[in-house]
Structure 1
């Protein structure tokens, strides 16, 4: 098994920081009119929003972080690395397609949904079924992470349709998706691959 690039700890660790920091600062710039419990992150990234550039920059930085992590996470199975990298590309595209100040945007919503799906399935696609795999790449933790992300994404969709806690649900799923790459990288660095013994 190949070792993970040590710089991937920085790229994966920065992902939740830039995302959560971005929506926090953008919400502060927006002021009391913005309710983070009932309004989505997309509202902060909409044209005309006070924190437009902050949230847009955070989404783009998040995408770059995921791309770099996918590149450096060599112990993960290739399909998982591809899905993580594609999720990073989706985040960058979302940053380039901000929604309008009022109403929805089919392009923004579609790319966001694709990004959610890719970042939800990458853990299970990256799993290594060999017994010596680091904890974060073992089947049970990987499947658990994917399940939690899919359930929280489903909750977000329900809230979007019924109204209510849209912001809370979206922040839960995006926080989980931004944090899991760091957990995987840290577990790979904690349990590096053992050198093969001499051949007999």
Structure 2
């Protein structure tokens, strides 16, 4: 039985394609060009954006991919999978509540975006599976090997702690990128679009990185 089903690898791989493809095609359709360094992703899906359906479809596809990936990563912790799914649902909500053309409230869009960025940054920290306690048991031995030389590997509490640190470090890295975006957004910086794209792309690629690592580990 595969640790990571092929359809999970497909959904995890499609997530960054929806996001990056959406902002690339959406920006190309804006009259007079679009500055991706200063212009946000949300502006491409705003009510008054040209062909806003492109970025809207990209966000919806991204969110649904995260939900599918969360459902398939069954070997990970339930808390991490729940946060990944929450991030996916919130991403769909970002598309459902676009920035208004003028005069309307942007609060629903802002709340949805905040939940999406936060959940997608935090999920790796809650994703490590629980440690397997107990003695190791002998595994199958290749022909000609000595008895007991090839025990099966099991996760010890010490190994679990070391592994969990790597998962937490991944979340910290994502939070740093999100914090950069928040600082640029709050300060009216001219690189807010770049900061958002870097943070969003890193979060979109993270599930693919995790799924790929789990697949490689299972093969070994």
Given the alignment of the two structures, is residue 149 of structure 1 paired with residue 150 of structure 2, yes or no? Answer: no
Show the 5 A alignment for 1:2-81: 3-81=3-81
- Matched residues in 2 for 1:97 and 1:27: separation? 19
- The two structures, once aligned, show a CA RMSD in angstroms of 2.2
Tell me by how many angstroms 1:3 deviates.
2.0
Larger radius of gyration: 2
Tell me by how many angstroms 1:146 deviates.
0.7
Tell me by how many angstroms 1:31 deviates.
3.9
Higher fraction of helix: 1
> Which residue pairs with 2:147 in the alignment?
none
TM-score, with normalisation over the residues of structure 1? 0.88
- Matched residues in 1 for 2:51 and 2:171: separation? 31
Task: Note the residue ranges of structure 2 that are not aligned, 5 or more in a row.
Answer: 132-153, 157-161
Tell me by how many angstroms 1:129 deviates.
5.8
Runs of 4+ in 1 over 3 A off after TM superposition: 128-133
- Matched residues in 1 for 2:58 and 2:10: separation? 16
Q: Contact between 2:27 and 2:33, CA under 8 Å: does it hold in 1?
A: no
Q: Contact between 2:77 and 2:130, CA under 8 Å: does it hold in 1?
A: no
Q: Contact between 1:3 and 1:193, CA under 8 Å: does it hold in 2?
A: no
> Which residue pairs with 1:192 in the alignment?
218
- Matched residues in 1 for 2:52 and 2:217: separation? 41
Q: Contact between 1:26 and 1:55, CA under 8 Å: does it hold in 2?
A: yes
Q: Contact between 2:29 and 2:50, CA under 8 Å: does it hold in 1?
A: yes
Q: Contact between 1:149 and 1:176, CA under 8 Å: does it hold in 2?
A: yes
Q: What is the number of equivalent residue pairs in this alignment?
A: 191
TM-score, with normalisation over the residues of structure 2? 0.81
Tell me by how many angstroms 1:32 deviates.
3.5
- Matched residues in 1 for 2:60 and 2:17: separation? 13
Decide which moves more: 184-193 or 162-171: 184-193
Tell me by how many angstroms 1:101 deviates.
2.4
Given the alignment of the two structures, is residue 115 of structure 1 paired with residue 140 of structure 2, yes or no? Answer: no
Given the alignment of the two structures, is residue 139 of structure 1 paired with residue 164 of structure 2, yes or no? Answer: yes
Deviations 1:119-150 (A, max 9, x none): 010001102364649xxx93233212211111
Given the alignment of the two structures, is residue 181 of structure 1 paired with residue 207 of structure 2, yes or no? Answer: yes
Tell me by how many angstroms 1:33 deviates.
4.3
Q: Contact between 1:27 and 1:51, CA under 8 Å: does it hold in 2?
A: no
Deviations 1:146-187 (A, max 9, x none): 111111111111111222210010001100100000011111
> Which residue pairs with 2:137 in the alignment?
none
